[in-house]
Structure 1
Amino acid sequence: MAEIRYTCKRTAVSTKPVQPGKRLPLSVLDRLMEPKHLRVVYYYGSDDPAREAGERTRTLRETLARTLTSFPKATGRLQRDGEGRWEIDCNDAGVRVMEARARGSVEDWLRNAGREDELRLVHWEEMFDTPYFWSTFYVQMTEFEGGGFAIGLSCIHLLADPTCATMFIKAWADMTLNARLTAPPPSFRALPKRRPSHRNDPDRHNSLINHCKSSINTSSLTPSAKFGTLSLAFTEPIVRSCIAMARPVDAPDGPGPSPFEALAGLFWACISKVKGEREGLVSMCLGLDVRKLLGLEREFFGNCMVYNNSLHARDNEEDNSLPGAAKAIGEMMAKLDKDGVMDLIEWLEINDDTRPKNTRSLNFSELLFLNLEGIEPDTARFEDTHAPIRVSCYFEPTCKEGQVVILPSTPEDGSMSRVVMVTLPEDELVKLMEHDLVMSLRPIILMGLNKNRA
């Protein structure tokens, strides 16, 4: 395991105070994610080896303080409102910052790092009995002695989804490079409401509501198996090959699936076989960003992902094929509409229980797939010529059956290129790395149990 020295832990506060008494309520979509947290790592390549040790960290520390003026939700603290619901007291208490140094270059690190190494680059502390003093966001800045650096951000999922996390890092990069935000500031408004004339019956049982009901009534279990993470890079030609393989057999000349549908279908089919399914697919849950669907701006800062589970016929022999899995995912995505999401939000609001001991949160009992294709990590440039060379995202604690995160790769690999992060029990991960269908595409192994095997 590579050596990391944690040199300092401090609190960063914004340079401009928030208006006294400002509070931000959390939505019903926020409150569903309370037990979870996110960890994101951005890697930047080696540049000037003569740079003074700690010079970059000092610069980033100063620009972080200026960035925080636009993110009062990140610098505030959790407290209960008069009805017992969580809200953010925007009191400028700040975010916790960890500064660290690592041996070697960032490129050396990436050639050898595994899941546990990577998680050491993004500090996180669990909240216990003192939420008012606990930082909901943590930042870690790690400089590599041989060149390069890493930015780690962790936050409680109660306040933000992956889009928000990457929005924060991009704003920080803009402030460092341009001394200002180049995109609109984050928006902290409430989720949209239906007009009374357009109101549907929120008690009608659409699939989103049914899945939510089953998930919040499922007890949260800590997985007993040891999990590993496999990260694979699919360049644009590889993704195109996967799309061709995923075309419906009954319509070979029709429009093919999207990159996400093809890759998610590939891993759903292969993981199902790894988990022992012979005639069907394991149950899965699909997480999708619905900002655009709800007419919200990209800068909406809060949870705006919804989760739906799969409906598949186990007696269909093609169900566990790549084309069958990709088709099922495409159908799930096509059926997601604004009315269905608004029904879910209204059902959650009607059935909201404000008592803290009756917290209603999602407990994923299925294999989870997260679509993070829209996060645009390459725009987070702290220096003019340096886009991140890799980005990783973790959804913690790991779901019982595992999870698959699909996000963009570097632009050099093509606009359709993707990185797929698969987290499974280690014995299943070994089988997946040996699966003929995955390895036939020859993806680049970025991180795995034994990265040098291929």
Structure 2
Amino acid sequence: MGDKSGRVNMHSILTAVSNKPVGSVKNHPLTGMDHAMGRHTLHMVFYYEKTSFGSFSIDPVRESLSETLSLYPPVTGRLTRVESGNWEVKCNDAGVRVLRSRVGVTIDEWLRSADGSEERDLMVWEDMPDSPTRVTTWSPFRVQINDFEGGGVAIGMSCNHMNADPTCLTLLLKSWTEVHRHQPIAYPPSFLLPAAPLGSRLVPVNRTKSTSYLADKSQEAAAAQAPSVKMASATFKFSDSIIKQCLSEIRDKCPHATPFDFLAALFWTRVVSLKKPRHDHTHTLSICVDFRRLLQEPLPYGYFGNALNFSLLSVNGEEMECGGLGHAAELVHRHVSDLKEDEFWSAIHLLESQKNEGGGKYAPPCTMYGPELTCVSMEHMIVGHQSMIYSTIFDSVRPVHVSCHVGNVEGEGLILVMPSAEEGLARTVMVTLPEEEMDILCKDQAILCLEPKLLLTGKL
């Protein structure tokens, strides 16, 4: 593909602030789940064809960003440790770092030829500083605007995962596009996680799939970390027609399968085939779902914080091998369907109770994406027939592709099942695996026979 070195060149850095001062400074406390995510970073890139932002210093896009930031005080604030030792956001309107870069190829050529490592150049990839002094001036949210040759823009958005989850970043950009188009904001932000309903039964921590899994992770948090392994990523885009066909073929084993059920099962079984058998002959999959709309009294989509639930699905190796793909999809479907409201509130209760046991301080952050193979569902981002991710419209232009990356993934890897630019049941699957395994997965005939479009493959 020729020399690809230096195709992204940063040429300016500025700070965007809200156009309405916060006023009296307030602190936004972070929850137990927020603290648990502190080892990870979050990065999303939204690609737009034939859209230009001109000179950002005077562009209306910058004005609309400042107007949007007025609605999100925690985004323009800075992290601070309070007396208990926990993190909060000091809403002091210190602003968001905005970087501007030029890309020396067209957007089409980039999507054809760039790899996972090069895509990192389109977004800020920075861990939170170790020094408490540096943190107080460090911007936890970053925006990078990348201009391609011939028109087209990629907007990279990054933050510490302690501050936000993928839904937060998506709706922050969606709000920005709506303000820019002078339209009402579809999902206004809210910043308070309500208490569990009075009728909710808080199950003891060792009684649910999620709480026992989180308790194990908390105990492992202080243990020595496994040596880091070089990871690689790849993006697979599956068409609406292919997913419909695949769901039809497994209907006898999993009659109510969703695209997530099928794709999670497909990649789980194929990744398992690449790995050495476990000594106990079981295969595990950590499943992450967003619980905003799964509560009896749903959280607003605009809730600005981590609303994620992690639980572990385990299956005997012989059962997986004999049951086939349809059976694996049924196992995933049943596991996700069995996650009820008590499960989510109990996980929240566990993380909050660790603060009481620690003298007011939350437990150390965990490796939430690992060490088990982790699969994330973003099905909640499809409302009706419309994807929130692809309704982030600038100048009447929808994204042609959206990437989502998580920093500091460890262990067996990460699978993200996302909406796709094509409507219907089409899905995009982003996979992060150890480098040697990724090389094999990209040639796996069980996946390639479904004719996915393969993008952005390479080392991280």
- 3-state SS of paired residue (1:329): helix
Give the Å deviation of 1:317: 5.5
Corresponding position of 1:379: 391
**Structure 2 residue 230 is matched with structure 1 residue 226:** yes
Corresponding position of 1:5: 9
Give the Å deviation of 1:311: 2.0
Q: Structure 1's 397 and 181: CA in aligned 2 closer, same or farther, altered over 3 A?
A: farther
Q: Structure 1's 280 and 433: CA in aligned 2 closer, same or farther, altered over 3 A?
A: farther
Q: Deviations over 1:256-289 (max 9, x none)?
A: 4111000110000111001144996632201100
Residues 23 and 87 in structure 1, CA contact (< 8 A), matched pair in contact too: yes
Give the letter for the 2:76 counterpart.
T
Partners of 2:276 and 2:49 in 1: how far apart? 41
Residues 138 and 154 in structure 1, CA contact (< 8 A), matched pair in contact too: yes
- 3-state SS of paired residue (2:143): strand
Corresponding position of 1:257: 257
Partners of 2:120 and 2:200 in 1: how far apart? 46
Residues 260 and 406 in structure 1, CA contact (< 8 A), matched pair in contact too: yes
- 3-state SS of paired residue (1:359): coil
Corresponding position of 2:202: 200
Corresponding position of 2:449: 440
Give the letter for the 2:268 counterpart.
W
Residues 205 and 347 in structure 2, CA contact (< 8 A), matched pair in contact too: no
Give the Å deviation of 1:100: 0.8
Partners of 1:68 and 1:78 in 2: how far apart? 17
Give the Å deviation of 1:235: 0.6
Residues 187 and 301 in structure 2, CA contact (< 8 A), matched pair in contact too: no
1:42-81 aligned within 5 A: 42-46=46-50, 54=55, 58-81=59-82
Residues 10 and 96 in structure 1, CA contact (< 8 A), matched pair in contact too: yes
Give the Å deviation of 1:90: 0.5
Gaps of at least 5 residues in structure 2 are 382-387
Partners of 1:297 and 1:368 in 2: how far apart? 25
1:28-43 aligned within 5 A: 28-43=32-47
Corresponding position of 2:31: 27
**Structure 2 residue 307 is matched with structure 1 residue 301:** no
Q: Structure 1's 133 and 204: CA in aligned 2 closer, same or farther, altered over 3 A?
A: same
**Structure 2 residue 271 is matched with structure 1 residue 271:** yes
Q: Structure 1's 424 and 306: CA in aligned 2 closer, same or farther, altered over 3 A?
A: same
Cα RMSD, aligned residues only: 2.3
**Structure 2 residue 172 is matched with structure 1 residue 172:** no
Which of 358, 370, 375 lines up with 1:369 in the alignment?
A: 375
Give the letter for the 2:338 counterpart.
K
Corresponding position of 1:403: 414
Percent identical across equivalent pairs? Answer: 32
Number of residue pairs aligned between Structure 1 and Structure 2: 438
Q: Structure 1's 238 and 220: CA in aligned 2 closer, same or farther, altered over 3 A?
A: farther
Q: Mean alpha-carbon deviation: is it higher for 129-138 or for 237-246?
A: 237-246
Q: Mean alpha-carbon deviation: is it higher for 426-435 or for 400-409?
A: 426-435
Q: Structure 1's 280 and 379: CA in aligned 2 closer, same or farther, altered over 3 A?
A: farther
Partners of 1:56 and 1:263 in 2: how far apart? 43
Give the letter for the 1:430 counterpart.
D
Corresponding position of 1:237: 241
Partners of 1:346 and 1:220 in 2: how far apart? 27
Partners of 1:213 and 1:111 in 2: how far apart? 43
Q: Deviations over 1:364-421 (max 9, x none)?
A: 210011111233211100112x1000000001112221111110111xx331100001
- 3-state SS of paired residue (1:54): coil
Residues 268 and 281 in structure 1, CA contact (< 8 A), matched pair in contact too: no
Give the letter for the 1:380 counterpart.
T
Give the Å deviation of 1:83: 2.2
Q: Structure 1's 319 and 167: CA in aligned 2 closer, same or farther, altered over 3 A?
A: farther
Partners of 2:27 and 2:429 in 1: how far apart? 38
Give the letter for the 1:350 counterpart.
S
Give the Å deviation of 1:56: 9.4
**Structure 2 residue 187 is matched with structure 1 residue 190:** no
Partners of 2:359 and 2:135 in 1: how far apart? 17
Corresponding position of 1:285: 286
Q: Structure 1's 367 and 125: CA in aligned 2 closer, same or farther, altered over 3 A?
A: same
Corresponding position of 1:135: 139
- 3-state SS of paired residue (2:327): helix
Give the letter for the 1:372 counterpart.
M
Q: Structure 1's 428 and 184: CA in aligned 2 closer, same or farther, altered over 3 A?
A: closer
Gaps of at least 5 residues in structure 1 are none
Q: Deviations over 1:146-184 (max 9, x none)?
A: 210010000011111100010111111112222x54314
Give the letter for the 1:365 counterpart.
P
Which of 429, 434, 443 lines up with 1:425 in the alignment?
A: 434
Give the Å deviation of 1:320: 6.4
Partners of 1:399 and 1:275 in 2: how far apart? 15
Residues 312 and 319 in structure 1, CA contact (< 8 A), matched pair in contact too: no
